[in-house]
A and B are shown apart, each in its own frame.
Chain A
Amino acid sequence: MSYRRMFLVLAVAYIASFTTGARAADEPVIPPDEFVYCTVCHGVQMKGNPNIQAPRLSGMDKTYIERQLRAFKTGWRGTHENDLVGMEMRPMAAILSDAQITAAARYVNAVSSEPPPLTIDGDAGRGETHYASCAACHGAGGEGVPAVGGPPLTGLNDWYLARQLSNFKDGTRGSSPGDAYGAQMRAATATLMDDVAIRDVVTYINSLQSR
């Protein structure tokens, strides 16, 4: 492990212990009955379950969650033949009314859990170079840019980020007509040449979580 990498891990561990301690006073949110099933796959407090490839969603941006639930509902997401995981998700969103979509997003935004574990170990330096073109929409610190509809990238499972980048790149996600944000991401991921580039940029995004 490089010194840079070790520092990163220690820093994340330190901040994780701090935030966990700070949150101990927070009362965990009991999901409304109608959304208990979300936690069957996404885990307690939506903390994620890598075993079944269900990402951490705790505290995610409300607007973005609503948009994605609508994307699943309309079929922009979860209909591509290679997107088996997306297809698993789609029926859950398809049954939600507009009011329920808003309520689900509010619930997801209200819950918290410790930061996700780091599982991808690429070259953050190279990743920083790739990230330069991401910053316009996702913010220099990955905090998101609401004005252009770019969601925050921090707090997501790194394996999930990598899968989505790969999905955008090969057209599994973002190819549906009408999915303007998806089309933007398709174009943006074209600059990531291969899986190594994806790992590198995700490693850099990981480093943003600790800042």
Chain B
Amino acid sequence: MNRPLSRRHFLSLVGAAGGSTAILQTGLALGLLPDTGPLRLADVQPAGNTNKRVLVLGAGMSGLAVAYELERRGFECTVIEASKRIGGRNLTLRSGDEVDEMGYSQVCEFDDKPHLYFNAGPARIPGHHKLVLHYCREFEIPLETYVNDNRNAYTQDDKAFGGKPVRIREYVTDARGFMSELLYKAVDRDVFDRPLSAGDKERILAFATAYGDLKEQGRYSGSDRAGYKSGGFVEHGELKDIHELSDLLDSDFWRYRMHFTEGEDQAMPVMQPIGGMDMIVKAFGKNIRSPIHTNAQVQSIQLQTNGVDVIYNHKGRRKKISGDYCFNCIPHHLLSGIYNNFSKEYAEALAAVEEGHLLKIGLQMKQRFWEADNIYGGISWTSQPIEQIWYPTHGIHAEKGVMLGAYTFGEEHGQFFERMTPEERIKSAIAQGEKIHPGYGSYVDCGVSVPWARMNHQMGCNARWSPDLRDSKFKLLQDPDGRHYIMGDQISYHSGWQEGALASAHHAMADMNQRILAESSAATATG
């Protein structure tokens, strides 16, 4: 059978081996299926003279977006925020900022310089996060690219390479070389059930050669992609030694870290606002005219037939406020501690979603030692609890820099740090960093830790939806209970991302708009 390998035929082969998920992902890669589509802003009709009142609970990204959009359309909005500041988990720490951790209030002791800041919450904006980018454009927030991937950074694994750090460049080059060599030999020796056509065989061998930088007869014998041991400019370049395949496999790096930036959300280039992620929060704060009450803790949310009543404490007094609609981005797991009359199913769904334990540590370094080590931005990965080290893209060649000293994805690693005092966390993060950069600790001026599961008024990040829970509860929570909408990244398929928060806010506003239109047309019909 010598017919050409069409994309659809290839998909059917892949599908047989990998199931429908493989088809979907491969289809996306081949451009056969639509991507995330155009910018979808909620189409909300002006309130006109209906004088609709909207209560916004929580001044996180979704709450701020709702207040900004609806007040511009004539809705009367009030924002009620429990903490001292707006922005929720969009938190940039600078000199003198308070870190409001439960029981361990810290003060950020970074030097007072524009480039010495730490994005303790969201830190990257991918190109397809259209709503975040829309607001950056609307508020004229200057952006710069953020380096999320750097082959000169390191991977360190206690179980491989004797625990020594290895440049990602070397690891990836050798891994690709070995895998390409395997592919080359398999194709060359016709090990498949069905023979490939001569043309296809030729091209796959050429592909493997190019992909892995193979030499004659498909042999991998090292590559300048891994970098030179010495020379390369005015002297003959000496190639780096090849790592043992067994070492590559002993390391966990290939499981997901090596492929981290293959994902659409992490792929280069990503962006960041110049001066800190909270430039977005500041812009919302500057542009919203509606009252935003901070230090105002919600006590009760009561759904009524045609609206929502909210009681909150503010400045030592108990206040009641009523709205036609309520948009709520309070963390879902805190709502059962607040009086409410949600339906049983809705309350149970809110309780069913678990909270994650993401944690970040920021370290101010006396010197940007990593730049002397050829590292300009990007991430080093380790099997230790700190998991990652980020090198700042901003402030290149300045004297000092704030680097990320830990970002824990695993719950176990998050809890490892949560149990410590802030001082112990910094000490531990330094000791772990030493395995990647000897002398690491000697550069540290000061550090700050942000364990989101211990942060006041948050107590968790991020909402963890299992596939079963998605099937059974997501739609229930995405839909309103009465005239109450729960929203935020927690009610999105992008939990932990600002785009999820904004998409959820726009989804809720669009839903409200449909209801208002339906009600007014019903009123016209009967009137």
CB <8 Å contact, B318 and A39 = no
The one of A31, A37, A42 that contacts B337, using a Cβ cutoff of 8 Å: A42
Contacts of A51 in B (CB 8 A): 333-337, 350-351
Report the minimal beta-carbon distance from A16 to chain B, rounded to whole angstroms. Answer: 14
A28 in contact (CB, < 8 A): yes
Within 8 A of B (CB), among A30-58: 30-31, 33, 36-37, 39-45, 47-52, 54
CB <8 Å contact, A50 and B456 = no
B459 in contact (CB, < 8 A): yes
B454 in contact (CB, < 8 A): yes
CB <8 Å contact, B318 and A49 = no
CB <8 Å contact, B337 and A48 = yes
How many angstroms from the CA of A30 to the CA of B299 in the assembled complex? 10
Contacts of A36 in B (CB 8 A): 297, 313
Q: A44-B339, A51-B336 are in contact. Are A92 and B313 (CB under 8 A)?
A: no
13 contacts between A and B (CB under 8 A): A39-B337, A40-B334, A40-B337, A43-B337, A44-B337, A50-B351, A51-B333, A52-B333, A88-B102, A91-B104, A92-B102, A92-B103, A94-B103
User: Which chain B residue lies CB-closest to A87?
Assistant: B419
CB <8 Å contact, A54 and B337 = yes
CB <8 Å contact, A50 and B316 = no
| Chain B interface, >50% SS class | mixed
Residue ranges of B at the interface with A (Cβ–Cβ < 8 Å): 82, 102-104, 297, 299-300, 313, 316-318, 333-339, 350-351, 355, 415, 418-419, 421, 454, 456-457, 459-460
Contacts of B102 in A (CB 8 A): 37, 40-41, 88, 91-92
Q: A28-B299, A49-B337, A91-B103 are in contact. Are A40 and B457 (CB under 8 A)?
A: yes
Give the A-B contact count at a CB cut-off of 8 A. 77
CB <8 Å contact, A40 and B338 = no
Contacts of A42 in B (CB 8 A): 337
How many angstroms from the CA of A44 to the CA of B82 in the assembled complex? 12
CB <8 Å contact, A40 and B103 = no
Interface size range of chain A in the complex = 20 to 34
CB <8 Å contact, B318 and A28 = yes
A25 in contact (CB, < 8 A): no
A22 in contact (CB, < 8 A): no
A148 in contact (CB, < 8 A): no
User: Which chain A residue lies CB-closest to B100?
Assistant: A37
CB <8 Å contact, A50 and B297 = no
Give the interface centre of A31, A40, A94 by most chain B CB atoms within 10 Å. A40
How many angstroms from the CA of A94 to the CA of B82 in the assembled complex? 24
A24 in contact (CB, < 8 A): no
How many angstroms from the CA of A49 to the CA of B421 in the assembled complex? 25
Contacts of B456 in A (CB 8 A): 37, 40
CB <8 Å contact, B415 and A84 = yes
CB <8 Å contact, A95 and B337 = no
Contacts of B103 in A (CB 8 A): 90-95
CB <8 Å contact, A44 and B457 = no
CB <8 Å contact, B297 and A41 = no
Contacts of B350 in A (CB 8 A): 51
How many angstroms from the CA of A193 to the CA of B418 in the assembled complex? 34
The one of B336, B351, B419, B460 that contacts A43, using a Cβ cutoff of 8 Å: B336
Contacts of A28 in B (CB 8 A): 299, 318
Contacts of A54 in B (CB 8 A): 337
Q: A28-B318, A51-B351 are in contact. Are A41 and B337 (CB under 8 A)?
A: yes
Write out, one digit per residue, whether chain A residues 84-111 have a CB within 8 A of any chain B CB (1) or not (0). Answer: 1001101111110000000000000000
How many angstroms from the CA of A94 to the CA of B421 in the assembled complex? 11
Report the minimal beta-carbon distance from B35 to chain A, rounded to whole angstroms. Answer: 36
How many angstroms from the CA of A48 to the CA of B299 in the assembled complex? 13
